[in-house]
Amino acid sequence: IAFFYIPNIELYYSIFSPKLMKVLIAINEFKGSLSSIEIGEVISSKINYKYNNVTSYVQPIADGGDGFLALFKGFDKMKFKTINAARQECEVNYLLDTKRKEAVIEIAEVIGLKHLNDTQKDPFRTSTVGLGKLISFLIEIGIEHIIIGLGGSATNDCGIGMLSELGVKFTDRSGKPCKHGINELKNIYNIDHRFMNDRLKDIRFSIISDVSNPLIGKNGSTYIFAKQKGLDENKFAEVDKYIEKFSDKVQLVTGKNNVFSEGSGAAGGLGFAFMSFFNATIYPGSKFMIDYLNLESKIQEADIIITGEGKLDMQSYMGKAPIEIARIAKKFNKKVIFLAGSVIDNELSELNEDDRKLIDASFSIQRKFISLNMAMDKKVAKQNLENTIVQIFNILEFNHG
């Protein structure tokens, strides 16, 4: 009988065993369908079950939009009764830490598109009042730092509803209050902020924006984001003009000009409202998330990064988390796979060469022609994800093995 002494068993396995492929799954929520956590778990469970030489890790992500609350640890999950963007009573989630006197709000949870049906999507009517009610409550209970994730809003009112709840008076020529949607924003003649809640001066706002767009112009809040909120394209120029006139009045009152500041156009101009009236600092959502989650080190440890969101288009390259994750991955020469509900190739063809290189392969998870409602059904979306990931890893395993 012969015995062999192996001085370094780890070295032995590294030579004679197939290399273990490490996959990091960090995908944004598919809005209205699957959460970031759900997507990650579907993909990870399929990979870990089917492929012996692949191990996957899930990292939920959100850059200020839907799913933002899921990023935070050490807070108590609370509920608050308020009104949604369509001014209907609702109960929303937020996070609270009374010891640190901090709170976290997700705009998409309070006044988000995901809570409205198609007939309710109308920026001329949708309002940010419900957000103002929650902020007012937090001030009254002694909160000193409020972290707000901008993104996924159903509004385009520059925050006049929220500001009205906090003491700013907007009136038309006859002195009638203006606080709901573009219908009333366009009539604002006078702004009086003398009666703002006194405690606001002691409140620090950290505003986390998932986009860097300015308030007005062809790259502003209306032209880029208002269509998905229910605004007809024929109204873009008209509404942008209303907002420009409103911003001029705000500048006269506050002495601040934030019209073209990065992120001022986020959440239908809520970024502009926070910058103009409060002690607020705006942070790029992707950078905040990447730093908070220590994502760079996690990316370094992986061989392949799977990222994505509901749609891959030009907006994805405007500071959205998946593309910023891809930028970091490329810094460490990692392969990037992008999964989406839909991929808009005609828009992506306009990207510059450097941006095109950020993604090694992009895939729509749709396996056949189906309606949008059916595609967003959780069961259908999960099955499509599983089918797509199997096809991808059949090839990767072949090349890797």
- State how far the Cα of 103 lies from the Cα of 143, in Å rounded to an integer: 7
Closest among 92, 95, 100 to 77, alpha carbons compared: 95
Q: What pLDDT does 369 receive? A: 85
Predicted pLDDT at 9: 46
pTM of the full predicted structure?
Answer: 0.80
Give yes or no for a contact between 153 and 270, defined as CB atoms under 8 angstroms apart.
yes
Count how many residues are written for the chain: 401
Strand pairing partners for 30? 34
Q: How far lies 168's CA from each of 124, 165, 177, 198, 274, in Å?
A: 20, 7, 10, 11, 13
> What is residue 18's predicted lDDT score, i.e. its pLDDT?
55
Residues contacting 225, CB < 8 A, separation 6+: 156, 211, 213, 265, 268
The H or E element containing residue 271 is helix 270-277
Residue-level pLDDT, tens digit, the chain, 401 residues: 444 444 554 444 444 445 688 999 999 988 878 989 999 999 999 998 888 888 999 999 988 888 899 889 899 999 999 999 999 999 999 999 999 999 999 999 999 998 999 999 999 999 999 999 999 999 999 999 999 999 889 999 999 999 999 999 999 999 999 999 999 999 999 999 999 988 898 999 999 987 889 999 999 999 999 999 999 999 999 999 999 999 999 999 999 999 999 999 999 999 999 999 999 999 988 888 999 899 999 999 999 999 999 999 998 887 788 999 999 999 999 999 999 999 999 999 999 999 999 999 999 999 888 888 888 889 999 999 999 999 998 887 655 54
